[in-house]
Amino acid sequence: MPRGATARRGALILALAVLLIPLGVPRVLDRAHTPTKLQAAASFAALCRNHGGSPTTTAAGPAQRACVVRYGRRVYRMDAITPAGFDEDAARFQRRGCLVARRHARRESGGQGVRFVFHPATGVCERRP
């Protein structure tokens, strides 16, 4: 076999090794730690229940997972519960919205009528009559 062909094959193997080792091999070997859809659904449901909610699927459009909680006669969607975990930013946004709604309700009704209560464990702003 000529030396040029051996050098080309060696360069090709080296190029493949440079590409595959950092990018492909770790992902192939790490299959045990890759969450499947079933594992993700189970962890979402567990997270939802740990925060006092009930996992459900939306009927409109493509089915999506959601976590809901009941306060009184109302059912609220827990926006802070996501497939990636408890979203602190979403809970903080809900808390701010609850404070604004509370101030607005006081201004409108003179302190009477509707109240808004924020629940930190669920990240929900509950509206109470």
Q: For 41-76, what is each residue's pLDDT tens digit?
A: 678 888 899 988 999 887 766 677 889 999 989 999
* Whole-number average pLDDT of the chain: 80
What pLDDT, on a 0 to 100 scale, did the predictor assign at position 106? 84
Question: 90 and 45, same structural domain?
Answer: yes
Question: 80 and 107, same structural domain?
Answer: yes
Distances (CA, A) of 33 to 7, 23, 29, 36, 47: 39, 16, 9, 9, 19
What pLDDT, on a 0 to 100 scale, did the predictor assign at position 29? 61
Q: Residue 36 above 70 pLDDT?
A: no
Dist CA 40 CA 84 (whole Å): 9
Dist CA 97 CA 91 (whole Å): 10
Q: Domain count of the chain?
A: 2
Pick the range with the lowest mean pLDDT from 22-36, 40-54, 99-113.
22-36
Distances (CA, A) of 43 to 27, 74, 77: 22, 26, 18
The parent domain of residue 70 ranges over 36-128
Identify residue 7 by its one-letter amino acid code. Answer: A
Question: 27 and 50, same structural domain?
Answer: no
Confidence band of 126 (pLDDT split at 50, 70, 90): very high
Question: 116 and 54, same structural domain?
Answer: yes
Question: 48 and 78, same structural domain?
Answer: yes
Q: Residue 33 above 60 pLDDT?
A: no
Phi, psi for 100 (deg, rounded to 5): -65, -45
Confidence band of 2 (pLDDT split at 50, 70, 90): low
